[in-house]
């Protein structure tokens, strides 16, 4: 763990201003980004990049999402304190920490075992209490369902049925849908057990949400 210092704090303040200027209004989202030492979620060799508004490789062919994208998805999800949120694609754990800072109960699933292990250790060191799981996000976490919110942080070719089922009525799912690094951000609201209202919120680029592949 790399201790937080005034330089990091200054860079974070700048990052928050940049994200706010790009249109993020939710004060709780901005406060979360200002609080989290993002430099711990990247390889130490890339410390300087931690507070730039860009996606970045985190090993195993995966990326930590661009801070603006994290903020955008979180704002759409609009998590409330004590709500149960399911994240698909733990990756570096950064998005999970944003949700924790907003006082949500966070359940997050990752399909790469090495990333799952590394991130579990990091969050323990940073004292962030997310419940992390190694598994296939397409299946969700039926044991802990239903969830108030579900956030998918990989590009999904379709909206998985299991995740629709595991959403509470009145709940929100944020999912970048599409293939080949070209996704449309969708907000899926569950109106009743069988009815969903879907709205579209612009173009984004994500690593793919993969199905049925062994990881180690």
Q: Which residues bind ligand SAH (CB under 6 A)?
A: 62-65, 88-89, 91-92, 94-95, 109-112, 115, 136-138, 153-154, 207, 209-211
Comparison of 110 and 148: residue with beta carbon closer to ligand SAH: 110
Comparison of 20 and 210: residue with beta carbon closer to ligand SAH: 210
Catalytic residue of the set 60, 65, 92, 192? 65
* List of E strands, the chain: 56-59, 62-64, 84-88, 105-110, 131-134, 147-152, 167-177, 183-190, 196-204
Most distant pair of Cα atoms in the chain: their distance = 51
Comparison of 52 and 62: residue with beta carbon closer to ligand SAH: 62
Comparison of 26 and 74: residue with beta carbon closer to ligand SAH: 74
User: Count of alpha carbons within 13 Å of 172, Cβ hemisphere only?
Assistant: 14
Q: How far is the CB of 169 from ligand SAH (least distance, A)?
A: 24
Contact at 8 Å (CB) between 100 and 112? no
Pairing assessment for the beta strands 167-177 and 147-152 based on DSSP bridges: parallel
Q: How far is the CB of 6 from ligand SAH (least distance, A)?
A: 25
Q: Is 65 marked active-site?
A: yes
Q: How far is the CB of 85 from ligand SAH (least distance, A)?
A: 12
Taken in order 66, 67, 69, 74, the sign of the CA dihedral is: positive
User: How far, in whole angstroms, is CA 122 from its chain's centroid?
Assistant: 16
Q: How far is the CB of 87 from ligand SAH (least distance, A)?
A: 6
Residues annotated catalytic, as ranges: 65
């Amino acid at each position: 763990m790399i201790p937080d210092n005034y330089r990091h704090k200054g860079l974070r303040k700048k990052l928050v201003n940049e994200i706010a200027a790009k249109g993020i209004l939710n004060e709780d989202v901005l406060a979360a980004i200002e609080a989290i030492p993002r430099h711990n979620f990247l390889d130490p060799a890339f410390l300087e990049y931690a507070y730039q508004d860009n996606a970045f490789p985190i090993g195993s062919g995966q990326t930590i999402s661009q801070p603006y994208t994290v903020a955008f998805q979180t704002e759409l999800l609009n998590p409330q304190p004590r709500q149960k949120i399911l994240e698909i694609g733990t990756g570096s754990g950064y998005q999970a920490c944003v949700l924790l800072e907003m006082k949500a109960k966070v359940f997050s699933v990752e399909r790469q075992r090495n990333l799952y292990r590394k991130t579990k250790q990091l969050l323990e060191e940073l004292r962030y209490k997310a419940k992390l799981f190694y598994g296939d996000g397409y299946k969700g976490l039926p044991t802990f369902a239903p969830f108030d919110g579900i956030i998918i942080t990989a590009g999904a070719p379709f909206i998985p049925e299991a995740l629709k089922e595991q959403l509470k009525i009145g709940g929100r799912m944020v999912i970048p849908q599409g293939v080949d690094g070209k996704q449309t951000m969708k907000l899926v609201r569950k109106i009743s057990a069988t009815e969903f209202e879907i709205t579209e919120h612009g173009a984004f680029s994500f690593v793919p949400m993969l199905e049925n592949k062994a990881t180690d």
